[in-house]
Amino acid sequence: MGRETKETEENRKTRHKMVVVGPHVSIITLNVNGLNSPIKRHRVAGWIKEQDPTICCLQETHLSPKDKHRLRVKGWRTILQANNEQKKAGVAILISDKVDFKAKQIKKDKEGQYIMIKGTLHQEDITLINIYAPNTGAPKFVKQLLIELKEDINNNTIIAGDLNTPLTPMDRTSRQKINKEIIELNEKLDQMDLIDIYRTLHPKTAGYTFFSSAHGTFSRIDHILGTKANINKYKRVEIISSIFSDHNAIKLEINYKKKAEKGAKMWRLNNT
């Protein structure tokens, strides 16, 4: 009898958590620059717990398919990865246990450059795409990938990752003009109604996610892209420093308005 009561209590706590978390979703993206060292994995896991995102997108995990089980974070049981045999690139999406997430479809490549997950989050459709673009020809790579995934990209899509591309002159300390490839990538984003959320919410702020020691410049090459249709749902986006990687993270907070009202009512009912 006691065990049953304990289980019911745990279920109630979990349900409470789910209902409370419902209206608010946070997504974080970070290039971790390799996870083959146990110490590094431990530090990254600690950092994820501290940030407590609903969804965490990691790039450059450098884990091979046979090592992918090494990436474990307590509280983020759902981990979906694309890995490279050569311990290069590698991307992962971690989903918090606190939310009701169901994956319906997964697309990824063998090079570990991208993974796409279509599913539902609190019964609402969501498409997550995590990208690690190669150092050379990055804008072209991202543009080509967007064309390939065009049918999968809709109003519920969030694209995160290290695109290795500053999208505007403001995204580099050198204020260097953007080249033809970046202009073409921006045109493609525009055609697909995709927006750079950081630049949309901070039109005049120069924030950077990467320091290039070779060029002595700071740039913002890590991005979270969303759709114009959902512009009012994007509540806050910020750059978060990380001490274990050569990149900083970007964190986005999204409001799920519809579910918020339902959740609140549902919880009051449970209380009475």
Which entry of 62, 114, 122, 162 is annotated as an active-site residue? 162
The pLDDT assigned to 264 comes to: 42
- Crossing angle (nearest 10°) for helices 180-191 and 138-148: 20
Residue 224: pLDDT over 70? yes
Q: How confident is the model at residue 11 (pLDDT cuts 50, 70, 90)?
A: low
Q: What is the pLDDT of residues 28-63, one digit of tens each?
A: 999 999 999 999 999 999 999 999 999 999 999 999
Q: Which residue has 């089980």 as its token pair?
A: 69
Residue 31 assigned ligand-binding role: yes
Distance between CA atoms of residues 56 and 32, nearest Å: 12
Q: To the nearest whole percent, how much of the chain has pLDDT over 90? A: 79
Distance between CA atoms of residues 185 and 144, nearest Å: 9
Q: Is the dihedral of CA 128, 46, 83, 131 positive or negative?
A: positive
Is 132 marked active-site? yes
Residue 60 assigned ligand-binding role: yes
Which entry of 62, 122, 223, 247 is annotated as an active-site residue? 247
Residue 17: pLDDT over 80? no
Residue 130 assigned ligand-binding role: no
The pLDDT assigned to 9 comes to: 52
* 170-176 LR contacts (CB < 8 Å, sep 24+): 170/199, 170/206, 171/199, 171/206, 171/208, 171/219, 171/220, 171/221, 172/217, 172/218, 172/219, 172/220, 173/206, 173/208, 173/217, 173/218, 173/219, 174/215, 174/217
The pLDDT assigned to 24 comes to: 83
Is 162 marked active-site? yes
Residue 186 assigned ligand-binding role: no
Q: How confident is the model at residue 214 (pLDDT cuts 50, 70, 90)?
A: confident
Residue 122 assigned ligand-binding role: no
Which entry of 62, 114, 122, 132 is annotated as an active-site residue? 132
